[in-house]
Amino acid sequence: MAENVPANALPASLLEAVGLTKRFGALLANDHVSLAIRAGETHALLGENGAGKSTLVKMMCGLLQPDSGELLYDGAPIVFPDPATSRARGVGVVFQHFALFDALTVVENVALGLAGHEPLATLAARIEDCVHRYGLSVEPYRRVGELSVGERQRVEIVRCLLGNPRVLILDEPTSVLTPDESESLFRTVDLLTGEGRAVLFISHKLDEVRRLCHRATVLRGGKFIAEVDPKTETASSLARLMVGAEVPRTPRSVTHALGEPRLLVNKLNVAGDGSRGSALHDIHLEIRAGEIVGIAGVAGNGQTTLFEALSGEKPVVDQEAIIIDKVAAGGLGPTERRALKAGFVPEERLGHAAAPDMRLSDNVLLTTHGDGEIVRLGIIRRSALLARFQEIVKRFDVRFGGKDPKARRLSGGNLQKFVIGREVLREPVLIVVDQPTWGVDAAAAAFIRTTLRQKAAEGCAVLVISQDLDELLEFTDRIAVMSEGRLTAPVPVAETSREAIGLAMGGAQAAGEGTHAA
Ligand SMILES: Nc1ncnc2c1ncn2[C@@H]1O[C@H](COP(=O)(O)OP(=O)(O)OP(=O)(O)O)[C@@H](O)[C@H]1O
């Protein structure tokens, strides 16, 4: 990938933050942070959850105004009063949480963000052109509601590129991508920097930062810590800079006897509804108390439908197709399934797992209202709710400013820790988690995995849907692969390999011996 630029030939900074400071109440989210992005470089912005990366980016594009400090663009001071102005000046941002309308097509969504009234056919042609030029796979006339998170992200990138940005800021672009999708994004990034554009790349995946980025700025606790050449660092030395201490690794599976099946999926068929999620065909799966089963697969192959069928959000006709802790649950809704002590953590934390404009404590209620402890005889026990909220925050180290902010105020990784903690503290016998560590820093990711391992050791059955193969290989016991709505038989991790899983992801039945016996 990209070579180091000799020091005597450094290109000028395109966009520069000089001593930016931002306070939210008592919390100093950015404390005199400086960062310069040069033409032709990919610059990483690193830091643990809540370190202040998104706050810095928001100030660099006019979404937030700094309390002090200034921005320089082409070496001259500039103020971006809002994102429209920064966009018009050539600063494009793709955020972690997308701003797309499900009911509209790709081209309609893109049109909404543009000034003027370009005919949709012309715009679709421009999208096709951009897609072709930068190797992105996006179909202009597909409805966004049908797209996987990875595809939605490409729509956001295309939308940005159509504005012909000189600086492109990507906020955790690979956290929802498969290895292949990430590789193709890296090629796109290289093409962009090759054209003299600058890319600011926020990521918790330190290996990819080392491969892709020319320089890295590290933040910790809202402060600038270091600017380093990631190629001369190791993933652990970078993690040490971010965290200020060694990062623990997830303990491998401890051998313990497995108990009763907690989840049985038997001949589960779900029709595609033409909108989000594909059909499921004849899914079989058994997860016993004490084990973690992982589901790998390229996004959009039925994982979302499977999650929704398991959580009760999508109706399943056959009552016996899903059995939770010996109870036929196919026809039960989400609350009734939670009453069976099942916990569910969906992929989209903001909007699905948590209501953005509700306070965190009220968000606790979303999945605990049927548990009896917090709501009794239809009356909310506020003290019990607050006690649970505080326990989640303490045990899962959820960091935020203020006492009880709205969910949308949390950094991405901290919100993820919150929604995982909310389910884990319900003491479930079955927990289904879609993308458990999306956007979570290395230390917090290790903590989440270790917690899920502990739950399994205590007798919980855990199902993890993840696009991160390394994660699945690191902490699950068996792995199945989802492809075109079909699930391979889960195979013990020791008996499979990245290659076999990769093949199965492409549709070959290579990760397991057959497709049925679980
Ligand atoms: N609008 C806001 N009001 C109050 N606090 C906020 C607001 N925005 C961010 N914060 C707080 O500022 C801190 C920094 O958040 P920021 O989103 O910048 O972190 P981050 O480094 O991007 O984290 P992550 O990796 O989890 O996305 C966090 O503690 C967050 O809760």
Is the CB–ligand 1 distance for residue 459 below 6 Å?
A: no
| End-to-end Cα separation, the chain, in angstroms | 42
Rounded to 10 degrees, what is the CA torsion of 125, 129, 131, 135?
Answer: 160
Q: How far apart are CA 278 and CA 284, in angstroms?
A: 17
Ligand 1 atom closest to the Cα of residue 64 is 1
How many alpha carbons lie under 13 Å from residue 361 in its C-beta half-sphere? 15
User: What is the C-alpha to C-alpha distance for residues 94 and 8, in angstroms, rounded to an integer?
Assistant: 32
The total number of residues shown for the chain amounts to 518
Q: Is 490 exposed, middle or buried (0-12, 13-18, 19+ CB in 10 A)?
A: buried
How many whole angstroms from 288 Cα to the centroid of ligand 1? 38
Ligand 1 atom closest to Cα of residue 416: 26
Closest ligand 1 atom, residue 441 Cα: 25
Report pLDDT for 207: 84
Output the pLDDT for position 512. 42
DSSP H/E element including 311: helix 303-311
pTM over 0.80: no
Per-residue pLDDT, 33: 97
User: Do 7-243 and 248-341+429-518 share a fold?
Assistant: yes
pLDDT given for residue 362 in this prediction:
93
29 lines ligand 1 (CB under 6 A): yes
CA dihedral 191→194→197→199, nearest 10 degrees, is: 60
Does any ligand 1 atom lie closer than 6 A to the CB of residue 297? no
Which residue, by CA, sits nearest to atom 5 of ligand 1?
401
**13-24 and 68-73 strand pairing:** antiparallel
Phi-psi region of 430 (alpha: psi -120 to 50; beta: other; left: phi over 0): beta
The C-alpha atoms of residue 31 and residue 29 are separated, in whole angstroms, by: 7
* Domain ranges for the chain: 7-243, 248-341+429-518, 347-426
Instruction: State whether the beta carbon of 47 lies less than 6 angstroms from ligand 1.
Output: yes
Q: Is 59 helix (H, G, I), strand (E, B) or coil?
A: helix
Check if 55 has its Cβ closer than 6 Å to any atom of ligand 1.
yes
Q: Is the CB of 50 under 6 A from ligand 1?
A: yes
Cβ of 175 closer than 6 Å to ligand 1, yes or no, is: no
The CATH architecture annotation of domain 248-341+429-518 reads: 3-Layer(aba) Sandwich (3.40)
In the structure encoding, which two tokens stand for residue 204, read together? 């918790």
Task: Report the atom number in ligand 1 closest to the C-alpha of 55.
Answer: 18
Please tell me the residue having the least CA distance from ligand 1 atom 28.
50
Q: Measuring CA to CA, which residue among 74, 75, 100, 95 is closest to residue 83?
A: 95
Which H, E and C letters describe 419-476, residue by residue? HHHHHHCCCCCEEEEECCCCCCCHHHHHHHHHHHHHHHHCCCEEEEECCCHHHHHHHC
pLDDT at 511: 44
| Minimum CA distance residue for ligand 1 atom 16 | 52
Give the burial class of 258: count Cβ atoms within 10 A of its Cβ; 0-12 exposed, 13-18 middle, 19 or more buried. middle
Would you say the CB of residue 24 lies under 6 angstroms from ligand 1? yes
Which pLDDT value is given to residue 255? Answer: 58
Cβ–ligand 1 distance for 53 under 6 Å, the answer: yes
Q: What is the pLDDT of residue 367?
A: 87
* Conformational region of residue 168, where left means phi above 0, alpha means psi within -120 to 50, and beta covers everything else: beta
What type of residue sits at position 66? Answer: P
* 66 in contact with ligand 1, CB cutoff 6 A: no
Q: What is the DSSP string of 148-171?
A: -HHHHHHHHHHHHHTT--SEEEEE
Ligand 1 within 6 A of CB of 304: no
- Ligand 1 test: best mutation among 399, 411, 440, most atoms within 8 Å of CB? 411
Phi–psi pair at 63, nearest 5 degrees: -75, -30
How far apart (Å, rounded) are the C-alpha atoms in residues 106 and 128?
11
Tokens of 447: 């903590």
Contacts of 273 (CB under 8 A, 6+ apart): none
Q: What values do phi and psi take at 445, rounded to 5?
A: -65, -45
- Ligand 1 proximity of 54 Cβ (cutoff 6 Å): yes
Residues of the chain predicted below pLDDT 70? 1-11, 176, 178, 245-256, 273-277, 506-518
Ligand 1 near 42 CB (within 6 A) = no
Q: Are strands 27-38 and 76-78 parallel, antiparallel or unpaired?
A: unpaired
Q: For atom 29 of ligand 1, which residue has the closest CA?
A: 400
Ligand 1 touching residue 49 (CB < 6 A): yes
What is the 381 CA–ligand 1 centroid distance (Å)? Answer: 30
Q: How far is the CA of 414 from the centre of ligand 1 (A)?
A: 8
- 372-398: b or e for each residue (b if 16 or more CB lie within 10 Å)? eebbeeeeeeeebbeebbeebbeebeb
User: Which residue is associated with the tokens 């109440």?
Assistant: 25
- Say whether domain 7-243 belongs to CATH 3.40.50.300: yes
Closest CA to 408 of 355, 346, 361, 444: 355
Residue 100 confidence (pLDDT): 87
What's the pLDDT tens digit per position in 41-99?
Answer: 999 999 988 899 999 999 999 999 999 999 999 999 999 999 999 999 999 999 877 78
Rounded Cα gap, residues 423 and 324, in angstroms: 16
Using an 8 Å Cβ cutoff, are 276 and 282 in contact? no
Residue closest by Cα to atom 7 of ligand 1: 409
Residue 277, pLDDT score: 56
- Give the residue, by CA position, lying nearest to ligand 1 atom 19: 50
Q: Which of 22, 23, 24 to mutate to test the pocket of ligand 1 (most atoms within 8 A of CB)?
A: 24
Residues 6+ apart with CB under 8 A from 264: 285, 286, 322, 323
